[in-house]
Amino acid sequence: MPAGLAVRGLRKRFGQLVALDGVSVDFAPGEVHAVVGENGAGKSTLVSHLAGFLVPDEGEIAWDDSPLPLGDPLACRRMGISMVHQHFTLVDALTVLENVALASGLSGAVNRRALQGKIGELLRRYGWKLEPNALVGSLSVGQKQKLDILKALWQEGSVLILDEPTATLSEAEVEELFRLLRDLASRGMAVILIAHKLREVLAVADRITVLRSGRVIRTVHRSEADEHTLSKWMVGEVPPLESAQRPPEGEPRIVIRDLRVKGDDGRFRVQGVSLEVRPGEIAGVTGVDGNGQLELAEAVVGIRRPESGEVLIDGIPVGRHTEEIGYVPQDRHRHGLALSMTIGENLLIGLRSRGRFFRGPLLLVGRFHSHVQHLVDRFGIACRGPNQTVRDLSGGNQQKVVLARALDPFPRVLVAVDPTRGLDVRATMAVHNALLSAARGGAAVLLISGSREEVAALAHRASRISLGRLEPWENPSREDLVLC
């Protein structure tokens, strides 16, 4: 077998579901190797085996010709294999420094000053800004992502696996990260990267492996692929985006007036935002994460109290309207889902059409179950059935559960924050079409997204958010997207 990580005939089943079906692939030192595939294709399952988090049913993995200790994450780590997981592995109640200490296995009396020195050195090397004594709970998702990567880079090993690290980063941060990955590869590391945005993949990877339904469709050199061929290998032909409609007229449904909102750390995060959204309209807000997006969204849906200003829905303060608002929160694990509950239970919590499924206090189980099955089909949630726990779904399919709940039935007001984060090409298209049809069905949609392309493609009116203030983004054309 060649040097590096050699995977041969890997098979893994979860109950009836075959997640990996005879996967063979080589990850060589000195290369950035991207793994792509649609939601549920088996990407996370594959790399979890490489880092010792899963034991295969069949197959072998070798590192430089010696068998890898299967199912032993600590041993894998000692061999120099580190992994950045798809969802954060951070403790919110601890500081940046304490999280690093925890992850690097330091125990007993930790020399804080030495640790702080090393963190500072790494941050300088990567050009990242993170305050070692900041509480992790107060960080933006982009900062949390960097901290998770920092933890993996603590001991420079031989293999670095990153499972969708770019979903929460701005374009400039993604470029920075990619420079770092190229640098690590040039020093002999094997870098394995999972990402959904094919343009990103083509910009950084030396080789690309396409997975589909647990099988390797092919492994190609970057020069042998482009976005179109990759997405065809991943999902077949992609349905086109339905065209956006004319901007609607009429009375605004959402009126935001001079809103000022504090973040969890007590600082003002939204500083005087005014915005109106009409029924049928998609208002887009884009910007680098951590500029008040979260606080703005939470104030608009009525779960965070503003310090001053107001949010009116059809002329009435927002608090009384929660039944009519669909909300897709940015962090699906913290705010969107109860991970240990089933798909059906997650859909029942906060379902806006609950009344249809209850007689008095009693749930009409049969009727509700067929409704859940209908949502699973309509939103293409890949699962064993409505009784599967949400924790066991792939990341993208978890997001589809959040979307199904927010969009069924179409709400009067929809607030969606990064709704396609972590979704593959086909699922992204499906969400975009769902947002457009929600608007066509009369919803006032506030789309807050770090993806400028998404906002440019969907919004009738777009703004940029920076340090809690909005400024209009006139005619976001493709040239703008390239220039800024």
Token pair for 55: 């034991």
Q: What gap in Å lies between CA 219 and CA 46, rounded to an integer?
A: 15
Is residue 444 a contact point for ligand ATP (CB under 6 A)? no
Question: Quick one: 14 or 358, whose CB is closer to ligand ATP?
Answer: 14
Question: Quick one: 56 or 290, whose CB is closer to Mg ion?
Answer: 56
Closest CA to 391 of 327, 329, 336: 336
Exactly one of 7, 19, 448, 470 binds ligand ATP (CB under 6 A); that residue is 19
- Asked if residues 209 and 36 have their Cβ atoms less than 8 Å apart, the reply is yes
Three-state secondary-structure class, residue 19? strand
Q: What gap in Å lies between CA 455 and CA 176, rounded to an integer?
A: 23
Question: Quick one: 86 or 140, whose CB is closer to Mg ion?
Answer: 86
Question: Quick one: 13 or 335, whose CB is closer to ligand ATP?
Answer: 13
Largest pairwise CA distance in the chain: 69
Pattern 364-393, binding to ligand ATP, x per CB under 6 A? ------------------x---------xx
Is residue 45 a contact point for Mg ion (CB under 5 A)? no
> How many CB atoms sit inside 10 A of residue 401's CB?
24
Token pair for 295: 């606080």
Q: Rounded to the nearest whole angstrom, what is the least distance from the CB of residue 398 to ligand ATP in the complex?
A: 8
Pattern 84-123, binding to ligand ATP, x per CB under 6 A? --x-------------------------------------
- Asked if residues 281 and 439 have their Cβ atoms less than 8 Å apart, the reply is yes
Token pair for 402: 């959040």
Would you give the DSSP letter of residue 404?
H
How many residues bind ligand ATP (CB under 6 A)? The answer is 19
Question: Quick one: 43 or 253, whose CB is closer to ligand ATP?
Answer: 43
Place of tokens 């690093």: 100
Question: Quick one: 42 or 165, whose CB is closer to ligand ATP?
Answer: 42
- Asked if residues 39 and 423 have their Cβ atoms less than 8 Å apart, the reply is yes
Q: Rounded to the nearest whole angstrom, what is the least distance from the CB of residue 416 to Mg ion in the complex?
A: 21
Is residue 336 a contact point for ligand ATP (CB under 6 A)? no
Exactly one of 168, 397, 428, 451 binds ligand ATP (CB under 6 A); that residue is 397
Is residue 312 a contact point for ligand ATP (CB under 6 A)? no
Token pair for 250: 């009429």
> How many CB atoms sit inside 10 A of residue 69's CB?
15
Q: Rounded to the nearest whole angstrom, what is the least distance from the CB of residue 247 to Mg ion in the complex?
A: 37
Exactly one of 31, 44, 130, 167 binds Mg ion (CB under 5 A); that residue is 44
Closest CA to 194 of 37, 301, 50: 37
Question: Quick one: 431 or 462, whose CB is closer to ligand ATP?
Answer: 431
Cis peptide before 132 (omega within 30 of 0): no
**Binding to ligand ATP in span 21-80, by CB under 6 A:** 37, 39-45
Binding piece for ligand ATP, criterion CB under 6 A, among 13-21, 180-188, 365-373, 465-473? 13-21
Question: Quick one: 42 or 157, whose CB is closer to ligand ATP?
Answer: 42
Closest CA to 440 of 470, 462, 468, 407: 407
Is residue 293 a contact point for Mg ion (CB under 5 A)? no
Q: What gap in Å lies between CA 455 and CA 473, rounded to an integer?
A: 10
What residues line the site for Mg ion (CB under 5 A)? 44, 86, 394-395
What residues line the site for ligand ATP (CB under 6 A)? 14, 17, 19, 37, 39-45, 86, 382, 392-397
